[in-house]
Chain A
Amino acid sequence: MRKTEFAIVGAGPAGLSAAIEAARAGVKVVLADENQRPGGQLFKQIHKFFGSEAHHAGARGIDIGTMLLQQVSQQKNVEIMLDSVVWGIFRANPGHTLGVIHNSKNIHLKARKVLLATGATENVLAFPGWTLAGVMGAGAIQTLVNVHRVLPGKRVLMVGSGNVGLIVSYQLLQAGAEVVAIVEALPKIGGYAVHASKVARTGVPILTSTTVKEVHGKGKVEKAVLVQIDENWQPLTGTERELEVDVVCLACGLSPLAELAWITGCKFTDVPELGGHVPIHNENMETTVSGIYVAGDLAGIEEASTAIEEGRLVGIAVAEALGYLAAGEAKDKKTEISNRAEQLREGPFGITRKQAKEQLIRRSLSE
């Protein structure tokens, strides 16, 4: 049995930021992550981020990742356990005990407070042939191409024209692949115009009101059949066209990676604007289970910059709860962070997330 004050599951932007803030206040932190290196999905984000200067706008995800790792390395109170799969959470008094498999060994880690910052999982789109090798998530493509520097194919069909679909299309072009087309089931492009025009300028066709009918190949993708759809999402017979491709990339959104929160007994609510079922949490990001906090994509699908702010908020709240920060000081810091997070929830995309988040917090009051 190992003991710590604050255990964090997931060393992505939310988990790292929480660790940094809590440790700065004096909290002893153990940060567990199943991967071989910390940083979550930041190191595959090679595009520049939006937001204000306080949100590192203009910086690339990889730079923000490097900055967070540098900041966390300065904190003597933070221990990062890599190659550590958290498989269960059990109530202890006080706090919780995590079951962790580290180096093929099972460890019990007891903590007064726990943050679940497990991130998200990619949504799939099921069409005949979607299980063939070569059909993969947009995040998978980013990991393979930008982190491991391997192109899984040469001719790619991108499914989805949200920001992820547009950005990953551009990143595929940067890596030397051909993006044969981007298909979008909705009648208009989903992502920001700035990303769409960057891709369109290179000559990649963005086909709206179009979807994948099926994918063919002997074990591996060789051909995709596209079809146009009407306003009721019904395929229009006779509009089928075939494309020779060896990769079909699915950029159909993300869902919170919520298993640990579920088995911990956190109450959930369905918020489509935040990617589906999310744990109900209060303004400190604490769930309906006392001492269990959530931050980042698990608390609602947003962006790395919002994950950073939410993680910091939890770091402060935990430091306060453990007596390392006086109420007044904590309040000032939390207000500052909340204001910055608000700035990230502006514009047509941000405002729905802002309202959904506010509703989630109001909901926690009635729990």
Chain B
Amino acid sequence: MRVEEHPILGKLQKAPAVEIEVDGQVIQARAGEPIAAALLAAGKHIFRYTRKDHQPRGVFCAIGQCTDCMMIVDGVPNVRTCVTPVKPGMKIQTQHGLGKLRSTSVEKD
């Protein structure tokens, strides 16, 4: 649910719409916002399931510290959705377990 009106911060400023795909479903996000904010605004609260007990997890800290909100983003698992901004056409998937690591995701100096 978006906070459209706010007594201190005023009206929610217009932002260009960005379409992202979440588990095959297209949702509208606001340009620049993190994936997690867009998902919560769209009513999605469960972001992943844990490896051993398949327990659901959602957003906990929202500032990139706790890693509870990790999902698969454009094929890359374990992406912290609360600190990763949306991009047009981004494909996001609910993550089950740890996901598969790609060989290199960080280049060397």
Interface residues, chain A, with chain B CB atoms under 8 Å away: 1, 34-36, 41, 46, 60, 101, 104-108, 121-122, 131-137, 139-141, 143-146, 148-152, 154, 174-176, 219-220, 257
Query: With a CB–CB cut-off of 8 A, which chain A residues contact B83?
Result: 34-36
In the complex, the answer to whether B61 meets A106 with C-beta atoms within 8 Å is no
In the complex, the answer to whether B61 meets A137 with C-beta atoms within 8 Å is yes
In the bound complex, CA of A132 to CA of B8 (Å)? 31
In the complex, the answer to whether B64 meets A257 with C-beta atoms within 8 Å is no
In the complex, the answer to whether B107 meets A105 with C-beta atoms within 8 Å is yes
The interface bits of chain B over 46-79 (1 if a CB of A lies within 8 angstroms of the residue's CB, else 0) are: 1100000001111111111110000000000000
The interface bits of chain B over 19-45 (1 if a CB of A lies within 8 angstroms of the residue's CB, else 0) are: 000000000000001101100110001
A122 touches which one: B57, B61, B105 (CB < 8 A)? B61
In the complex, the answer to whether A108 meets B109 with C-beta atoms within 8 Å is yes
In the complex, the answer to whether B3 meets A149 with C-beta atoms within 8 Å is yes
A133 touches which one: B2, B3, B33, B47 (CB < 8 A)? B47
Query: With a CB–CB cut-off of 8 A, which chain B residues contact A108?
Result: 109
Given contacts A137-B61, A140-B61, A154-B1, contact A104 B8 (CB under 8 A): no
Top 3 A-B pairs, shortest CB-CB distance: A133-B58, A140-B62, A148-B37
Q: How many residues of B are counted as interface, with CB atoms below 8 angstroms from the partner's CB atoms?
A: 39
In the bound complex, CA of A122 to CA of B82 (Å)? 15
Query: With a CB–CB cut-off of 8 A, which chain A residues contact B5?
Result: 176
Given contacts A140-B62, A150-B40, A152-B45, contact A133 B57 (CB under 8 A): yes
In the complex, the answer to whether A174 meets B6 with C-beta atoms within 8 Å is yes
A140, A149, A174, A175: most-surrounded residue (chain B CB, <10 A) = A149
Give me 16 other A-B pairs in contact (C-beta within 8 A), A136-B62, A140-B61, A143-B63 excluded.
Answer: A35-B83, A60-B8, A104-B106, A104-B107, A106-B107, A106-B108, A121-B66, A132-B56, A133-B47, A136-B61, A140-B62, A141-B62, A143-B82, A146-B9, A149-B9, A257-B65
